[in-house]
Amino acid sequence: MKRSTFRTAQVYPSLPVGRLCAGALLAALALSLSANGGGPRAASSRPDQPAAKKARHAQHWYQIGVASWYGGHFQGRTTAAGETYDMNDLTCAHPTLPMGTWLRVTNLHNRKTTYVRVNDRGPVVDGRIVDLSYAAANVIGLSGIGRVKLEQIHQNDPVLAQALVARLQMPVLFTPMGSPMR
């Protein structure tokens, strides 16, 4: 006897409607993310890229507005950071930035720049974005009020490091007794 070669059809169980909708939703989400460039992602997925190229994609915070300075009246008082205010330090008062944040301040009138550290809250006057210490205002040529640009600088920024080192290098005004003259 010969066997028949009939095959029976296999019946697949039907998917519930909820699973089908969830699958369609996930597929649509995946398509929208791929069209959007993948959504938020790291600056670089390749570990062999230098740090400078990775930092290029980081967001750059800045603020433009009117600045003023404060000096002698507040000399020796305690700042919001708990430090003693010294009008000869390069510091500033900002209403929202965290204490210890480094800023590059550029006078938009003459393009002079300095670096300051936030150590106080202010300014008290409406319409102003920052109160600079007397020394910081003097470095950028700000007398009274003026328009400035604030840029947040990270502590490991090489430009900030160079500026701080340059600030420490003072000209030799005198040589100690017994030292050879240069």
Task: Judge whether 34 lies within some domain.
Answer: no
Beta strands in 8-165 (DSSP E): 62-70, 91-93, 102-107, 113-120, 128-133, 146-153
**pTM for the complete prediction?**
0.60
Task: Judge whether 79 lies within some domain.
Answer: yes
Residue 55: per-residue pLDDT: 47
Phi/psi of residue 167, nearest 5 degrees: -70, -30
Tokens 């008062």: give the residue: 93
Task: Judge whether 54 lies within some domain.
Answer: no
Among 182, 68, 57, CA closest to 125: 68
Residue 118: per-residue pLDDT: 97
Task: Judge whether 75 lies within some domain.
Answer: yes
What residue type is assigned to position 156 of the chain?
A: N
Domain membership of residue 158 as a residue range: 60-168
Residue 35: per-residue pLDDT: 47
Residue 162: per-residue pLDDT: 84
Task: Judge whether 27 lies within some domain.
Answer: no
Residue 124: per-residue pLDDT: 86
Domain count, the chain: 1
The series of mean pLDDT values per 10 residues for the chain, 182 residues long, is 55 52 50 46 42 54 96 94 95 96 96 96 94 96 96 86 75 52 49
Task: Judge whether 180 lies within some domain.
Answer: no
Beta bridge partners of 107: 148
Q: Which CATH number is 129's domain given?
A: 2.40.40.10
CA distance 6 to 162: 85
Residue 169: per-residue pLDDT: 67
CA distance 20 to 13: 13
| End-to-end Cα, the chain, rounded Å | 118
Task: Judge whether 148 lies within some domain.
Answer: yes
Task: Judge whether 70 lies within some domain.
Answer: yes
Three-state DSSP state, 69: strand
